[in-house]
Structure 1
């Protein structure tokens, strides 16, 4: 009887964990180019590019003393806040950007890879508020 009770509790605990993860995943809404009907989640990071290299950018983020390295993969969505798509080669120092990661959180134990990188302006202008 105790074994069955233990299995039932274990299954309930597992279901709660899975449901919690699914609920957290549903709360993250990535922006899409040219807008959409759904309001995106807040950006994971907002900062200014201090260095742009193939496959990565270094961002100066308010509240952090060191720049944050962000991986820009081939599947990273790149566009301006006005919706137009851009190429990774267009990323340059001085540009203000907003970054979203999968799950909308900065990964703690993996290299941060942008799911979406939105440039506020190809010129060095701050993001609209």
Structure 2
């Protein structure tokens, strides 16, 4: 009886959320969290970007705050969201590194493979773990 109570108690203890570690533009950050969304940019409207997510197989809305910087997979300085174009390959880390269905998902780190939509990444680009 006591053992079953102990096991039930342990199952309902709050679990610690994994720490959200964002990439740095020029790499070198250890233990970077996995990206939350990856795919081709379909629509850009003001600070809203629709990405055809490779994991979910459907378009996902990513909200950009006015302060978000856009980086390429090759690093370098950040640019404002106006450098985004339909057809670019993108990987996005969301705030708190968590995708929330049916809610606004704000980008914390937004990476495009290249500013040129005709530059296609290697096939594993969308599936690389961490940075």
User: Normalising to structure 2: TM-score of the pair?
Assistant: 0.72
Unaligned runs of 5+ in 2: 1-8, 125-131
Larger Rg: 1
Retained in 2: the 8 A contact 1:71–1:112?
A: yes
> Could you say which structure has the higher strand fraction?
2
Retained in 1: the 8 A contact 2:68–2:81?
A: no
Structure 2 counterpart of 1:75, from 67, 73, 81: 67
C-alpha RMSD of the superposition: 2.3
Structure 2 counterpart of 1:97, from 83, 90, 98: 90
Distance 1:69 1:102, change over 3 A: same
Measured in 2, the distance between the counterparts of 1:106 and 1:126 equals: 25
Distance 1:106 1:126, change over 3 A: farther
> Could you say which structure has the higher helix fraction?
1
The superposition leaves residues 52-71 of structure 1 with CA deviations (integer Å, 9 ceiling, x where unpaired) of 12111111112545311110
User: Normalising to structure 1: TM-score of the pair?
Assistant: 0.73
Corresponding position: 1:44 with 2:44: no
Unaligned runs of 5+ in 1: 1-11
